[in-house]
Amino acid sequence: MRLSPDRPLGRFLRLLVEGMLLLSLKGSLRGVYLRGRVPEGPLVLALNHHSFFDGHLVWFLGRFAGRPTSLLVAGENLKAFPVLALAGALEATRVREALRRLGRGEWVALFPEGEMRYPGPLGPLRPGAAWLAAKAGVPLLPVALRVAVRGFEHPEAFLWVGEPLPPEGDLPGALGGLLEALDALLRATHPREVPEGFQEVLKGRRSLEERVRPLVAALKRL
């Protein structure tokens, strides 16, 4: 039985699941940082996939932009956690429903590498994202993700939104180039500084030293 977000129980569970996703991001990451302009209208988002938090970040990006967003996921994952459907998860085989949602002006996101990969260059892409965009007649939006521990106690998440592409555009080149540029920028940036062009869009958990710094400063004034 599919839970309906239009019923009271469905609405309650959706709020509960979304609250848990937000708490997970704020409690586990130091922050979420965004670069790039998120365009209007229906889109197929194509993202690299390398961390546990990637699905959370897709949900957060849609929430931040104020756009209903569905993430295509493997059927076994949705069967294990069916309430995730209330936060936008959609079984990857439900192509017609994905097209309907795009037709309503929503976003549909997927990880075209088809699997979680070790952090590094973009892997080979499956054709699903381009096919879905072509079928719906909407642009592709490459988004590079990286979750990394740098100069603080907790990892930081970086999302670099690229330029929209036509369905027949070079998605491997665009997403791969964006991910390469993101990794290069992180390498060139001091680990305690925000990379150029990024803004913090979610403040998460501070390191222990950051939490005790005000206390140390107050003691020094005594």
Judge whether 88 and 108 are in contact, CB under 8 Å. no
Residue 129 β-bridge partners: none
pTM score, two decimals?
0.91
How many residues belong to the chain? 222
Mean pLDDT within 96-117: 96
pLDDT value of residue 214: 81
- Model pLDDT, residue 94: 94
Residue 124 burial class via C-beta count within 10 angstroms: exposed 0-12, middle 13-18, buried 19 and up: exposed
More confident residue, 200 or 14: 200
- Mean predicted lDDT score pLDDT of the chain: 92
Give Cβ neighbours of residue 79 (< 8 Å, ≥ 6 apart): none
Q: Which CATH number fits domain 8-220: 3.40.1130, 3.30.110, 1.10.3470, 2.40.160?
A: 3.40.1130
How many angstroms separate the Cα of 73 from the Cα of each of 55, 116, 145? Answer: 9, 12, 17
Q: What are phi and psi of 160, to 5 degrees?
A: -115, 110
Lowest-pLDDT range of 13-17, 47-51, 136-140, 156-160 = 13-17
Tell me what the mean pLDDT of segment 95-110 comes to: 97
Write out pLDDT tens, residues 39-63. 899 999 999 999 999 999 999 999 9
Give dist(CA 203, CA 192) in Å, integer: 15
Residue 125 has pLDDT above 70, yes or no: yes
Q: Is the pLDDT of residue 1 over 60?
A: no
69, 41 Cβ separation under 8 angstroms: no
To which residue do tokens 């599919």 refer? 2
Question: Which of 41, 165, 60, 59 has the alpha carbon at shortest distance from 103?
Answer: 41
Reported as a pLDDT band with limits 50, 70 and 90, residue 4 is low
